[in-house]
């Protein structure tokens, strides 16, 4: 009887996994082992569910970097939706940014699961006005302060359908942190993010602690990059920072108004 119960449980569990396209996308073998290891800190299932992302949506991912979330989103949206990756500009004068963009393009050419990913410049219009269901950004806000912030959120608002969503995950700074320190450390205050996103026609509709980490003291010598996965101090106090894990993050859902 016990064996029968275990078999039934495993069968039902397997059915649930295979019937859930988001779980399938997260467990897809195109994801590198190194990226899968980060799931315990980044909670992709819970995060994308909180943002309300459905497989039939047209989604813009802002500044996808090496494609950590792209690996999941491309698979999830491949059949009925579309993913637009707004990456560093192809003709950027910054060689480092151009290299990241080139490597991302090579990745997109490496597997048929990425065939439905459209790559555009971060400084572009992304798509036709009012044609996108959701715009997502993960751990990028600090890079845009006093640089491209206004242009990115103007373009994001324009491309979204009325009522479309903007999902944001960012390293969370202590309240009262100065703008200069935010840029230097990579941590952004909730207040700064909300005020400087809502002024472009968005309304914060929900917050989540999915990606919080109370172990993160946010006073590290090399800012957020002291922590995994970067570990900028290399071997120095590495075990200490590995034990902390990735940064404390806020997760916000905005809606276009």
What pLDDT shows up at residue 206?
Answer: 98
What pLDDT shows up at residue 15?
Answer: 47
In a structure prediction context, what are the per-residue pLDDT tens digits for the chain, which is 257 residues long? 544 444 444 444 544 546 899 999 999 999 989 999 999 999 999 999 999 999 999 999 999 999 999 999 999 999 999 999 999 999 999 999 999 999 999 999 999 999 999 999 999 999 999 999 999 999 999 999 999 999 999 999 999 999 999 999 999 999 999 999 999 999 999 999 999 999 999 999 999 999 999 999 999 999 999 999 999 999 999 999 999 999 999 999 999 99
Structural domain spans, the chain:
2-31+45-211, 215-249
CATH superfamily of the 2-31+45-211 domain: Vaccinia Virus protein VP39 (3.40.50.150)
Strands 82-87 and 58-62 turn out to be parallel
Strand partners, 32: none
Judge contact between 170 and 224, C-beta under 8 A. no
Strands 82-87 and 202-208 turn out to be unpaired
What pLDDT shows up at residue 17?
Answer: 47
What pLDDT shows up at residue 252?
Answer: 99
Per DSSP, the three-state class of 255 is strand
Edge-first strand order for the sheet with 58-62 is: 117-121, 82-87, 58-62, 132-138, 160-171, 249-256, 202-208
pTM above 0.85, yes or no: yes
Quick: pLDDT tens for 92-138. Answer: 999 999 999 999 999 999 999 999 999 999 999 999 999 999 999 99
How far apart are alpha carbons 145 and 179 in whole angstroms? 8
Strands 202-208 and 249-256 turn out to be antiparallel
**Cβ-Cβ contacts under 8 Å for 102 (sequence gap 6 or more):** none
First to last CA, the chain: 57
Q: Which helix (H) or strand (E) holds 193?
A: helix 190-198
Q: What is the dihedral of CA 202, 205, 208, 214, to 10 degrees?
A: 60
In 3D space, the residue among 82, 171, 80, 69 whose CA is nearest the CA of residue 134 turns out to be 82
What pLDDT shows up at residue 19?
Answer: 87
How many residues are present in the chain? Answer: 257
What pLDDT shows up at residue 13?
Answer: 52
Cis peptide before 246 (omega within 30 of 0): no
What pLDDT shows up at residue 7?
Answer: 44
- State how far the alpha carbon of 114 is from the alpha carbons of 140, 215, 232, in Å: 22, 36, 31
Strands 132-138 and 58-62 turn out to be parallel
What pLDDT shows up at residue 18?
Answer: 61
Helices and strands in the chain: count of H runs, count of E runs: 12, 7
């Amino acid at each position: 009887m016990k064996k029968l119960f275990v078999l039934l449980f495993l069968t039902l569990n397997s059915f649930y996994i295979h019937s859930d396209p988001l779980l399938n996308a997260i467990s897809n073998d195109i994801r590198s082992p190194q990226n899968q290891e980060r799931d315990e800190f980044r909670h992709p299932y819970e995060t994308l569910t909180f943002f309300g992302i459905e497989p039939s949506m047209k989604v813009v991912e802002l500044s996808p970097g090496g494609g950590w979330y792209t690996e999941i989103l491309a698979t999830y949206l491949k059949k009925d939706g579309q993913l637009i990756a707004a990456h560093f500009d192809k003709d950027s004068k910054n060689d480092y940014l151009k290299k990241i963009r080139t490597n991302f393009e090579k990745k997109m050419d490496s597997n048929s699961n990425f065939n439905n990913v459209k790559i555009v410049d971060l400084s572009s219009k992304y798509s036709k006005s009012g044609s996108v269901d959701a715009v997502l950004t993960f751990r990028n806000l600090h890079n845009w302060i006093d640089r491209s912030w206004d242009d990115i959120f103007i373009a994001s608002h324009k491309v979204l359908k009325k009522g479309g969503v903007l999902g944001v995950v960012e390293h969370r700074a202590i309240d009262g942190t100065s703008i200069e320190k935010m840029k230097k450390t990579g941590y952004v205050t909730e207040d700064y993010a909300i005020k400087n996103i809502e002024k472009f026609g968005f309304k914060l509709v929900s917050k989540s602690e999915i990606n919080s980490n109370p172990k993160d003291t946010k006073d590290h010598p090399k800012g957020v990059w002291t922590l995994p996965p970067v570990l900028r101090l290399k071997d120095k106090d590495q075990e200490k920072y590995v034990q902390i894990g990735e940064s404390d993050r806020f997760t916000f859902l905005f809606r276009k108004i």
